Amino acid sequence: MRDRYPEFFSSAPLRDIACLPGWLDLIDELCGTLKTYLKAHPEVPQVRARQVKEKFGELRFYYSGGDAVCRELVARAEERSMSICEVCGQAGTLGGEHWLSVRCLDHFNWSPSGDCA
Ligand SMILES: [Zn+2]
C-alpha cells in the first residue's frame, strides 16, 4: 500500500494497515479515488495519511491536507468498513463480545495474532 501510494503514506507510521487485511481493498479504492480527485484538482492540498487503524470496529483514516470532498470520500469509506469483515473482506456485521469489530460468520471468533493485537 505504501509502495502504491507513496504520496499518501510516505510520512506515516503505518504498520497498522497490515493488520486489517479485509479492508485493504476498501483502503485501496479510497486512495485510488483520492488520487484521481487530487490530480484533477491540483489546488487542493496533498492528502497525507497519518494513521490508518480500527477504532470501535470502524476504519479510521487520519490524514492531513485535502478538502471537503476528500473528507466526504474518507467518511464514506469509514462508513462502508462497518459492513466489511476486517479479516477477509466479505460482508460482515459489527459485533463481538469482548471487543467491537466487524466480522463475517467465518471469522466471528477469530483473534488477531500477537503482533497486530
Ligand atoms: Zn471474514
Ligand 1 centroid to 18 CA: how many Å?
15
Cα of 6 from ligand 1 centre, angstroms: 28
Distance from the CA of 46 to the center of ligand 1, in angstroms?
A: 33
**pTM score, two decimals?**
0.84
In whole angstroms, give the CA distance from residue 22 to residue 41: 30
Q: What is the pLDDT of residues 90-113, one digit of tens each?
A: 999 887 665 678 999 888 877 766
What span, in angstroms and rounded, lies between the C-alpha atoms of 60 and 114?
21
Residues 33-42 have pLDDT tens digits of 999 999 999 9
Distance of CA 106 from the midpoint of ligand 1 (Å): 5
Contacts of 11 (CB under 8 A, 6+ apart): 48, 50
Residue, of 15 and 117, whose pLDDT is higher: 15
